[in-house]
Amino acid sequence: MPLTALAKIKQRRLERAEREARSQLARLQAAEQAEAEAIDAHLAFQRGSREEQQRLFAAHVGQLIDCRALEHWRRQVGLLGEREASLHGQVFACEKALARQNTAHQQAQAQLAQTRQKRDSFVQLRDEAHQRATRLAECRQELELEEHCSHGGLQP
pLDDT tens track for 47-88: 888 888 888 777 776 665 677 777 887 888 898 889 889 989
Is 132 inside a domain boundary? no
Name the pTM for this structure.
0.58
Is 36 inside a domain boundary? yes
Is 65 inside a domain boundary? yes
Domain tally for the chain?
Answer: 1
Q: Are 92 and 5 in contact (CB under 8 A)?
A: no
Q: Are 31 and 99 in contact (CB under 8 A)?
A: no
Is 90 inside a domain boundary? yes
d(CA 44, CA 133): 70
Residue partners of 88: CB distance under 8 A and separation at least 6: 42
Residue ranges making up the domain that contains 92: 3-119
pLDDT tens track for 86-122: 989 999 999 999 999 999 999 999 999 999 998 898 8
Is 152 inside a domain boundary? no
Residue partners of 55: CB distance under 8 A and separation at least 6: none
Supply the CATH number for residue 49's domain: 1.10.287.1700
Is 71 inside a domain boundary? yes
Is 64 inside a domain boundary? yes
Using 50, 70 and 90 to split pLDDT, how confident is the model at 24? Answer: very high
Is 155 inside a domain boundary? no
Give the residue ranges of DSSP H helices in the chain.
3-60, 67-154
